[in-house]
Amino acid sequence: MALEKRPPVITIMGHVDHGKTTLLDYIRKTKVVASEAGGITQHIGAYSIEYKGQPLTFIDTPGHAAFNRMRARGASLTDIVVLVVAANDGVKPQTIESIRHIKSANVPVIVAINKIDLPDVRLDEVKSQLVEHGISVTGFGGDVEAIEVSALKGKGVDKLLETIAVTADLMELTADPALPLEAVVIESSVDPHRGPLAAVIVRQGTLKIRQEITVDGNDGRIRQLVNEAHLNLDQVTPGFPAEIVGLHQVPAVGSIVYEVGVEYPVVKPKLEKMAESDNEKNQEKIQMDELGKSAIALAGPDELDFSVFDKMLDVKPKIKLIIRADVEGTLEAIVQNLDDESTQLLASGVGQITEQDLELAEASGAAIIGFQVKVSTQIKKLAKQSGIKIKTYEIIYQLIEDLQQAQLKLLEPTIDEQVLGEAEILQIFEMRGDRIAGIKVKTGQFKKSNLFHLKRGDEIIANPVIKSMMHGKAEIDSIKTKSEGGLTFKNRKLDFQVGDILLAYKIVDEE
């Protein structure tokens, strides 16, 4: 084994809009901000630069609070953190969150006080705030370097890079390129032409063309290695990033890439142990399953009181979702932000919305969310015919805010709705393959164009779209109070029963 010096891996962290991406843009002379929706980084990326002959690898992590899990993982992957704080804005919630991750990862930190070109800077106040939150900067009783920079104009950036390089030299970072391969997946996606892609940083060993690799049971052979400039590489040594082409499936962010056919030590890498912490979260569910089995074993089938399970499970209505995103890292961030008590994730994945997603949504009454994915005309047409809701987003925090609003609305589902009519399903019959709900309007009026809730007891179980409204053999557009009619729904698999209630309503904000 021959240890060799490797480049440091640096993570940029801090509050949204404090200039993290602008700083990295200046360093690598590109303009990611201009190509990102809303000016906010959407995905993790890794980039290598050279400063005075010394290679430095940067991980650029997203800034919004929804990505706290990704930032936490980024801090654990990194050797040095650059904490960006705006000179005119000071320490903010995501700054504090970043500090918590930095301390948890126990890595060196360098503070970049950005936007010093603005007129309303408060340098001493910002440094005092950092000290209050455990980052003791030089000149304020500590030894953490605080470099004053303007990422927009480049002022102080050379000093920041020099400080990073000196810190890395003092750390004496080394790795053995001859050891068995370990590379960490920092991003993954699907390319329509190249297939599953995985951006990785090599931790030890060497990544090579035509190498047989495996990640979480997903095997493949490296067909192509490219760097951030899309230049082909023959091999990648420790500390450097690359994009892998050749896997059969999209790997999860944070997974470890190993070489097939190589014997690895029994002791698991530190990074792999992070995934185990996620598995621990499933223990409560496993214990619940075991408790259920024990209850059945102790009592005969006639003696078991199933109300016990109702209390244990505390069953409540949930928002059913199917989520598609363009890359694995963003998908993970969205899923991590879901509230398990109010949402049920039926399916999620990387890539475009498919007809299989529509079939699942139609059968379950789920809504489909797409993040930075295109929805084909055919999918839109089929969704409209089936009354399936598809909502797409380009900016992560807008998606998260809408999800949070929907979760809150579940507590009071009709808070912004005005009821226009109420009807009860009195009978069900079939005609030419369609199930028809025979209804009687109890109050108000039903129009075919209304929005509808289908309720069973106190729970809204679906939001059906009416396909046809009949009185006898005549097709009609409305049914008045105390009148009867027959309804068919666009969702032919809709589960409606005698005694269910239909509510016609409109959104108050749409008046």
CATH of 417-510, one of 2.40.30.10, 3.10.400.10, 3.40.190.10, 3.20.20.80: 2.40.30.10
| DSSP string for residues in 78-139 | -SEEEEEEETTT-S-HHHHHHHHHHHHHT--EEEEEE-TTSTT--HHHHHHHHHHTT--BTT
Contact 208/234 with Cβ under 8 angstroms? yes
The Cα-based distances of 310 to 307, 314, 316 in angstroms read 5, 6, 10
Residue 369 reports pLDDT greater than 90: yes
Residue 494 reports pLDDT greater than 50: yes
> What is the mean predicted confidence (pLDDT) over 72-92?
83
Give the range among 49-53, 156-160, 265-269 with minimum mean pLDDT: 265-269
Element (H, E) at 76: helix 68-77
Q: How many helices (H) and strands (E) does the chain have?
A: 13, 30
Q: What's this model's pTM, rounded to 2 decimal places?
A: 0.60
pLDDT in tens, 317-335: 678 899 999 888 888 888 8
- Rounded to whole angstroms, the Cα distance separating 150 from 113 reads 8
Q: Which two tokens stand for residue 90?
A: 């000071």
Give the range among 71-75, 199-203, 437-441, 485-489 with minimum mean pLDDT: 71-75
Domain with CATH 3.40.50.300 in the chain: 4-174
Higher pLDDT, 330 or 502: 502
> What is the mean predicted confidence (pLDDT) over 125-149?
94
Is it true that domain 316-411 has CATH number 3.30.70.1520?
no
pLDDT confidence tier of residue 276, bands split at 50, 70 and 90: very low
- Rounded to whole angstroms, the Cα distance separating 464 from 442 reads 19
- Rounded to whole angstroms, the Cα distance separating 484 from 75 reads 64
Contact 246/198 with Cβ under 8 angstroms? no
Q: Which two tokens stand for residue 60?
A: 């650029």
Reduced to 3 states, what is the DSSP secondary structure of residue 193?
coil
Q: What is the pLDDT of residue 335?
A: 86
CATH number for the domain running over 4-174: 3.40.50.300
The CATH class, in words, for 182-272 is mainly beta
pLDDT confidence tier of residue 473, bands split at 50, 70 and 90: confident
Domain with CATH 2.40.30.10 in the chain: 182-272, 417-510
Q: What is the pLDDT of residue 406?
A: 74
Beta strands in 308-458 (DSSP E): 319-325, 343-350, 367-371, 390-393, 417-431, 434-444, 446-447, 451-456
Q: Which two tokens stand for residue 107?
A: 């890595």
- Supply φ then ψ for residue 44, to 5 degrees: -80, 135
Domain with CATH 3.40.50.10050 in the chain: 316-411
